[in-house]
A and B are shown apart, each in its own frame.
Chain A
Amino acid sequence: MTQPVSPPLDSSTDKVPPARPPAWRGLLIRADVRTLSLLGVLAVLILIGGVTKPDEFLDTRNLQLVLTQASVIGVVTVGMTFVIVSGGIDLSVGAIVALASVWATTVATQEYGFAGILFTAVIVGVGCGLVNGVLIAYGAMVPFIATLAMLASARGLALQITDGKTQIVTVPSVLDLGERDAYVLGIPPLVMVFAVVTVIGWLVLNRTTFGRRTVAVGGNPEAARLAGIDVRRQRLYLYLLSGLCCGIAAFLLIVLAGSGQNTNGNLYELDAIAAAIIGGTLLTGGRGTIVGSVLGVLIFTTITNIFALNNLQSDVQQIAKGAIIVAAVLVQRRTASTT
């Protein structure tokens, strides 16, 4: 499956870089090539959807649906991108979403209404992120191991809290947020949260000291340390950030599904990592873009949507999803090969 390859507009400038451009500038130029190739993939998908199911696919409701379904995993992916850019990994995101969602929907917190649920979800997310961060930054644990441990224990705790039962949400104000009546100018509130998180994520990564430090730590931690960056504290903040995103995502999921369940967020870690990788984030750290990650999420969600509209079965879906991951990364590598 050959995708129309978008022209590597900036590759010539990349070959002979101007003498020591600012780090963020180089990042922006490289990102553009990747972004264009990702947009190309997305355009092809939209074309396929439009041709196979014109009435259902090219419909406002479907656009709202695709974006809504991308929101929960999208918010998680933004946090994950930061962690991966810093050279780390967070395997616990799905489990944190599960724990935050069931804690926030237990009967006790439902008595405190909307604020109680939102607050609990976010606090649990941040709390788990804090534990991850402390273990990794100050306990000198490998991120893979520390977050694997969090994955196991958060899932266990989620199961213990629910006793395997589905916590059905009975707070009307929470449920209303997912209804069509709550859409503003046709945009579902969930999608707005996703958009805000994306914009803030982009600003922080590209326009702040925090973002530059994140890239520096991922590129070369030793050099970052010598340059005066508190690498440990930076790492702590990054896992906190990922946990915060999981807490927000858990709340979105509660609104969407109207319940909390210990099986929530199943395999989010793999989806988020896959979206970030497709988006051009290096698994070894030092490079990555929020826009790329979000496009990665949108590509996945669009694929799922097209499959469902065409009534393809889950086995076919899984095979095709794997093939498309490979295709997207190959296209991207080709267009970005000069960098």
Chain B
Amino acid sequence: MTEITSRRGLLFGAAAVSAGALLTGCTSNEPSESKDEPAGNNQPAADDKPGKQVTIGFAGPQADHGWLNAINDNAKSRAEKYSDVTLEITEGSNDTAQQIGQIETLINKKVDVLVVLPADGKALTQVGLKAMRAGIPVVNLDRIFNTPQAYRCWIGGDNYGMGLNAGHYIGEKLKGKSGARVIELAGLDNLELTKQRTQGFDDALKNYPNIKKVARQAAEFTVESGQAKMAQLLQAQSKFDALWNHDDDQGVGALRAIEQAGRDDFLMVGGAGALSAFQAIKQDDGVLKATVLYPPTMAASAIDLARALGQSKGIGGLAEFEIPSSLTLYSAVVDKTNVDQYMSTGFK
């Protein structure tokens, strides 16, 4: 029971984090009766009042990474929250062909709304179009389809914004320090999102002429690669002032390498929002001072949107009768000052 409670708390907190008042109110202006979430999480969530029955088809990723696992968890537990929602869930897959097959099965089952986090947005565009043509609105989660015709609503994170906010945070921290040196531990370089995160970071740093990015190495979003690449970076750069690491999972390895090298002469900013990162930030006894969010709670919000679509409603807090066609979440910076607020959203 405690698990459910905390998970629900996570969702409530998350809704506020990721979309602010936009998503939380949903159709009604009445905040839900929130009895069992932890204190401090009493912001209004989606309308709990049962409406028309909606069957949502969910085709998610294979959960081989902390963040992706959190995506599936968020979607499932959010759907459980609504008595009027039935979730038809397919087995998570990173394989394009397999996922196309799964979505086609969901179309054939005639679900009311589809939520899809594609293994590859471009490659799954056709099946998104197919669903839309079959009269099933698609909520496209995170990895975006090639054409807006393939989805009714897109909701996802802001990779460019992550880089931008990480850059600004570091820029402000190093303000007034002349000749400051910054390094970057990027994610998997063959993903477009990695390029976007780096672009945002570089653009932010342009505002701070006293800072120079002296090195960048790409890891693979895994602890092992984070440890290996960070160990090399530390050897290559005998002195630097700040590090931006794109991903908290590989950050576990990066922190391990930093500890093994006995280095503490710089500040580190992470990315994504893992529980272990939040805990380290709260303890404040290491180099990790902040992390930039890429909230997995977007999956819960996607279920909210899908439900609203199925019930032909808009979103509370907006004047519109319909849900928006796209929602880009904010990449908030979590540091010691606000970590408590976000703790419940941290994924393992």
Contacts and interface: CB of A to CB of B under 8 A. Distances in A.
Interface of A: 53, 55-56, 59, 61-62, 65, 68-69, 159, 163-166, 168, 178-180, 253, 256-259, 261-266, 304-305, 308-311, 313-315
Interface in B61-84: 62-66, 68-69
Contacts of A256: 224, 227, 256
Contacts of A165: 66, 69, 348
Interface in B217-254: 217-218, 220-224, 226-229, 231-233, 235-236, 238, 249, 252-253
B143 to A, nearest CB: 17
Complex A-B, nearest 9 residue pairs according to Cβ-Cβ distance, in ascending order = A164-B69, A308-B232, A164-B63, A258-B256, A263-B222, A314-B218, A309-B236, A257-B227, A314-B189
A232 B173 CA distance: 65
Q: Give the bracket for the number of chain B residues in contact with chain A.
A: 35 or more
Given A258-B252, A311-B216, A313-B189, A164 B68 contact: yes
B261 to A, nearest CB: 8
A164 B68 CA distance: 8
B228 A53 contact: no
B235 A261 contact: no
Contacts of A55: 238
Contact of B224 (A65, A264, A309): A264
A311 B68 contact: no
A311 B276 contact: no
A311 B215 contact: yes
A180 B224 contact: no
Contact of A61 (B65, B223, B235): B235
Contact of B233 (A69, A179, A308, A315): A308
A262 B64 contact: yes
B108 interface: no
22 contacts: A163-B63, A164-B63, A164-B68, A164-B69, A165-B69, A166-B66, A168-B252, A178-B256, A179-B260, A257-B227, A258-B223, A258-B252, A259-B223, A259-B256, A261-B224, A263-B222, A263-B223, A266-B224, A311-B214, A311-B216, A313-B189, A314-B218
Contacts of B226: 257
B224 A257 contact: yes
A311 B253 contact: no
Name which of A165, A264, A315 has the most chain B CB atoms within 10 A of its CB. Answer: A165
Interface string B280-323: 00000000000000000000000000000000000000000000
A67 B173 CA distance: 36
A69 B233 CA distance: 13
Name which of B221, B224, B253 has the most chain A CB atoms within 10 A of its CB. Answer: B224
B40 interface: no
Given A65-B235, A165-B348, A263-B223, 14 more contacts: A65-B231, A68-B231, A69-B228, A163-B63, A164-B68, A178-B260, A256-B224, A257-B227, A263-B64, A263-B224, A265-B224, A308-B217, A308-B229, A314-B217
A163 B65 CA distance: 9
A159 B221 CA distance: 16
Interface of B: 62-66, 68-69, 189, 214-218, 220-224, 226-229, 231-233, 235-236, 238, 249, 252-253, 256, 259-262, 276, 348
Contacts of B69: 163-165
Nearest to A53: B236
Q: Is chain B's binding surface mostly helix, strand, loop or mixed?
A: helix
Given A65-B231, A164-B69, A257-B227, A311 B189 contact: no
A111 B63 CA distance: 26
A126 B221 CA distance: 29
Nearest to B65: A164
B236 A311 contact: yes
Contact of A159 (B64, B217, B220, B260): B64
A140 to B, nearest CB: 31
Nearest to B255: A258
Nearest to B61: A164
A180 B262 contact: yes
B236 A263 contact: no
B232 A65 contact: yes
B222 A266 contact: yes
Contacts of B249: 166, 261
Name which of A164, A168, A257, A259 has the most chain B CB atoms within 10 A of its CB. Answer: A164
Nearest to A165: B348
A168 B235 CA distance: 24
B227 A261 contact: no
B189 A315 contact: yes
Contacts of A263: 64-65, 220-224
B202 to A, nearest CB: 14
Given A56-B238, A314-B218, A257 B256 contact: yes
Given A165-B348, A166-B348, A314-B189, A309 B223 contact: no
Nearest to A178: B260
Contacts of A310: 236
Contacts of A257: 223-224, 226-227, 252-253, 256
Nearest to A309: B236
Contact of B232 (A59, A168, A258, A309): A309
Contact of A261 (B223, B262, B276): B223
A69 B231 contact: yes
A18 B190 CA distance: 55
B232 to A, nearest CB: 3
B6 to A, nearest CB: 15
Contacts of A168: 252, 276
A178 B348 CA distance: 24
Given A69-B228, A165-B348, A259 B236 contact: no
